[in-house]
Amino acid sequence: MVVCDDVEMRITDVIRGQDHLSNTHKQILLYEAMGATPPRFAHLPLINAPDRTKLSKRKHGEVVSVTTYRDRGFLPEAFRNFLALLGWSAGDDREFYSTDELVRAFSLEGIGRSNAILNFSETDPRQWTDRKAFFLNQQYMAKMPLAELLPRVEAVLRGAGLWDEAFAVGGTRLAWFEKTIDLIRARFVTLLDFADAGRAYLDDSFDMDPEAVDKNLKKEPHLKDWLKELGRRFETVSDFRAASAEAALRAYADELGVKAGVLINASRTAVTGRAVGPSLFEALEVIGQGRVVARLRKAGDLVRSEPT
């Protein structure tokens, strides 16, 4: 049946996995028996799991499904780039390709002879797929034109109930939205991060990372008062921008006789719920003076009153 379909559709080239190699000679005989010219065949190495077994949906689940990557926030361009590098190379160490560049560079001669390995963990949800896939997706999101990224972020935010029509083209907060997304995207790995790690920039209901709280808020009991006072000082800044926020924080750290990093790290967690992110002071500017002050005051309640 396959041969009949190929003849009817005038297939000239067949590229498939090497597990079909054993069928090829039979199919060529069928072509010849039908008086048809056999197509050219190319058999590619397989993609294996970390244990070197053949990757399959039945055994390995969603990691082999293209829709899984779509639903978990991977860009199509980044995913194509990743798939191309599974067993293929242009002959150099380059990893980042646009789709057009892949089309120009790709050739069957660049495909390796050994089976490729998709490195993932079945027990660690943070490494549910290959690290290189995460890396390439992060690179694409960080480097792609902002105008191309924004509609994809919009779709994610709509799904999470975080979209505001004021962010849309012609909306009153479009400029703010563009600036904020451009600021936070460099550290994000998938589109879903904009609704998760980026939630604090868009809404007041966000989760505090327990590890960040333990590290940056609970180790220094004096932060209970320091953060509230920092919030008071921020409230008095007439032109609340990155530079003025930084000046106020560093001046207060000097008065206390502590390293500015103590207040910087604590403020980041208090305001964004995270231990890492873009420049704190640029983050404070886009989040806004009122929200920053309120969050610093609230975060004081997370600090231990007495040393442990």
Q: How far apart are CA 41 and CA 3, in angstroms?
A: 13
Q: Which two tokens stand for residue 205?
A: 């209901």
Annotated catalytic residue within 54, 57, 143, 259: 57
For strands 40-44 and 13-17, give the pairing.
parallel
Q: How far apart are CA 92 and CA 268, in angstroms?
A: 41
Query: How many CB atoms lie under 10 A from the CB of residue 20?
Result: 13
Determine phi and psi for 54, rounding to 5 degrees.
-60, 135
Hey, what amino acid is at 14?
V
Does the annotation mark 57 as catalytic? yes
Q: How far apart are CA 272 and CA 266, in angstroms?
A: 10
Q: Which of the residues are catalytic?
A: 57
